[in-house]
């Protein structure tokens, strides 16, 4: 009991002072090591060195930089123009384009927030000028943006793999089918909604020939080739994530300079933002590593497993409790912070119950995606409300995003019933 009081009290006490979450996690871990492990705080140093010396973790800043370069290249406008003709005559029109382009940029940025922001900057003014319902527009962008964490390369998978020593290639492969399935479910919902309420998406009956629809893809084929080369080389085992990301950064600079509007100034901005983002993520990882070491040394995961076994709760009952805890905490923490903070306890608990480590990674990613569209902290909601210049309030964006929240819950349900949805490609390719 004293351990849990120290853990929870330490986190609350340090976090309430306004310090960074990484500091709160690290100080709590050091406190536990000092008072419960005979002052063995030096163990934290070894743990930090092992994690930050990991070749896997070195891929994270490279993928962040890759995404930042492409997001500043102006290719989002070309991608939107390329996909728009494909859905012109489908009920919902450009709403489907939002989901498709978010899926594409999910394979570029690896970040939910970046995906929603970059696509929203192009889509919102275009669609409002055409008379689309503003709430539906922002809802589709907030929901579609969550695909940035599930479609590889995903920061969630990279950090999860580094902290749990799980194969990044298998994680990337595991996210492909669930990511595409989620995108299709979003489109199905928009199709039904647009048929039932035609006023939310004005129809455009302009004929679109097959070659006209394909013509736009000539402008973005280098981007598509880059994505397939980077992700394909990792999934196929031809390159490590770090090697693929490094080559991808070089190719992204070349492609963005020739086909996009990348300038030297924008490149410097991309590098600067990448450093800031990785520093933030790295600080979280540092704190979580210290906390994980303190929890591991005391054998807390084994004690939790023993308690669960003695309680008589079934395996899936425990899983349900874990999901509910994530949903509640997702109201107060951003997704990556929540994942890093909880992995020291959740990962050994779920693997100890027999769940596959790759499947757990996909499940946790989907749950933290829900947090991205859950008020009051839901970052996708905030950024899209800001993009509308106050035309759509945060509350209205949150209400418009509820269907996507439900679809994510449905994804968790079907992944639990059919784990092969996530595990088929990793088992086939590795």
Per-residue pLDDT for 418 more than 90? Answer: yes
Q: Cα 70 vs. chain centroid, distance in angstroms?
A: 17
Q: Which two tokens stand for residue 69?
A: 């370069």
Q: Which of 76-80, 133-137, 319-323, 339-343 has the lowest mean pLDDT?
A: 76-80
Per-residue pLDDT for 413 more than 80? Answer: yes
Q: Whole-angstrom Cα distance, residue 278 to residue 270? A: 12
Domain regions of the chain by residue span: 55-429
> Do 132 and 95 meet the contact criterion of CB atoms below 8 Å apart?
yes
What pLDDT, on a 0 to 100 scale, did the predictor assign at position 262? Answer: 81
Confidence of residue 205 (pLDDT cuts 50, 70, 90): low
What's the pTM value of the predicted model, to 2 decimals?
0.80
> Do 237 and 130 meet the contact criterion of CB atoms below 8 Å apart?
no
Confidence of residue 212 (pLDDT cuts 50, 70, 90): low
Confidence of residue 27 (pLDDT cuts 50, 70, 90): confident
Tokens 């990962």 label which residue? 347
By CB atoms closer than 10 A (0-12, 13-18, 19+), residue 93 is buried
280-326 tens-digit pLDDT: 777 777 777 777 777 777 776 666 666 766 677 778 888 888 888 88
């Amino acid at each position: 009991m004293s351990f849990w009081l120290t853990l929870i009290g330490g986190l609350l006490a340090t976090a309430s002072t306004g310090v960074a979450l990484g500091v709160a996690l690290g100080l709590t871990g050091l406190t536990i090591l000092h008072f419960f492990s005979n002052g063995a705080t030096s163990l934290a140093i070894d743990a930090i060195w092992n994690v930050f010396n990991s070749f896997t973790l070195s891929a994270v800043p490279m993928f962040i930089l890759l995404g930042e370069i492409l997001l500043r290249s102006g290719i989002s406008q070309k991608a939107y123009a390329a996909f728009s003709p494909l859905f012109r005559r489908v009920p919902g029109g450009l709403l489907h384009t939002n989901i498709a382009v978010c899926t594409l940029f999910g394979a570029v940025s690896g970040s939910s927030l970046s995906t929603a922001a970059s696509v929203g900057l192009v889509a919102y003014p275009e669609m409002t000028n055409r008379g689309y319902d503003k709430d539906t527009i922002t809802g589709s962008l907030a929901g579609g943006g969550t695909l940035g964490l599930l479609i590889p390369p995903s920061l969630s998978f990279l950090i999860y793999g580094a902290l749990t020593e799980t194969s990044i290639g298998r994680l990337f492969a595991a996210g492909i089918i669930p990511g595409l399935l989620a995108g299709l479910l979003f489109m199905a919902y928009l199709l039904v909604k647009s048929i039932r309420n035609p006023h939310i998406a004005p129809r455009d009956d302009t004929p679109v020939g097959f070659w006209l629809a394909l013509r736009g893809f000539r402008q973005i084929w280098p981007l598509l080739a880059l994505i397939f080369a980077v992700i394909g080389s990792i999934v196929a085992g031809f390159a490590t994530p770090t090697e693929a990301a490094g080559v991808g950064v070089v190719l992204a600079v070349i492609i963005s300079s020739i086909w996009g509007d990348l300038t030297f100034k924008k490149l410097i901005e991309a590098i600067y933002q990448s450093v800031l983002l990785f520093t933030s993520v790295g600080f979280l990882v540092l704190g979580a590593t210290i906390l994980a070491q303190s929890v591991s040394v005391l054998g807390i995961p084994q004690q939790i497993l023993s308690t669960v076994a003695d309680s008589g709760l079934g395996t899936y009952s425990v899983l349900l409790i874990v999901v509910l805890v994530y949903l509640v905490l997702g109201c107060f923490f951003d997704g990556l912070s929540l994942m890093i903070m909880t992995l020291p306890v959740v990962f050994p608990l779920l693997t100890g119950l027999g769940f596959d480590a790759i499947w757990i990674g996909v499940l946790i990613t989907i749950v933290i995606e829900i947090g991205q569209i859950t008020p009051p902290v839901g970052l996708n909601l905030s950024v899209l409300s800001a993009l509308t210049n106050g035309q759509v309030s945060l509350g209205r964006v949150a209400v418009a995003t509820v269907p996507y929240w439900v679809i994510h819950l449905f994804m968790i349900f079907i992944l639990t019933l059919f784990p092969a949805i996530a595990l088929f490609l990793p088992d086939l390719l590795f």
